Amino acid sequence: MTPTRVIVLNGGSSSGKSTLARCLQAVLPDPWLTFGTDTLVDAMPGSGTDIGFAADGEVTVGEDFRTLEAAWIEGIAAMARAGARVVVDEVFLGGAGSQRRWQRALGDLAVLWVAVRCDPAVAAEREAGRGDRIPGMAARQADLVHRDVHYDLEVDTTRTGPEACARNIAATVISRTPEPSPPPSPRT
């Protein structure tokens, strides 16, 4: 059994992924880096990235965005291959197609795929409280991002706090970590 190198948290906007990722850093053994799709979007130039946010919360992306996203995904995979443990906070706008892009890049790495679910009404309430999201984005993405995606584990942040969800995920990661081999017994 190979220890988990990457945890991919997939959920819609305002489902609690970023808070959950920070809680995971606190409860997982060893240091873990976190990177989110918001990090990618924030790193992009203000124009020419082919990403659109409609008034109803729909997010569209084009070729320029996909090119930069592909490089970002490959970079995260390279960090994991170089020894970093990574938590990815993602929004699979393309459902299973988005997961396949990550699967190709992560290849032989041990990955824990986690669905972060949240009732659309609760996510919309959180979205309204944040003030930095387009109204409707959370409700639109709540189910869309999970379409035909395969997971190892699912958590629901509707009524379960991020700390409890993080402990659940950490327990799964720890259960997948092989026990160290005992030292050889001395010869007599």
Among the options 38, 50, 119, 156, which is catalytic? Answer: 38
Do 5 and 80 touch, CB atoms closer than 8 A?
Answer: yes
Among all chains, which residue has been given the structure tokens 């819609």? 12
**Of the candidates 113, 40, 47, which has an alpha carbon nearest to the alpha carbon of residue 75?**
40
Angle at 26 between CA 35 and CA 105, to 5 degrees: 30
Instruction: Locate 21 and state its tokens.
Output: 């990722």
Active site residue 56: no
How far apart (Å, rounded) are the C-alpha atoms in residues 180 and 177? 9
Catalytic residues: 38
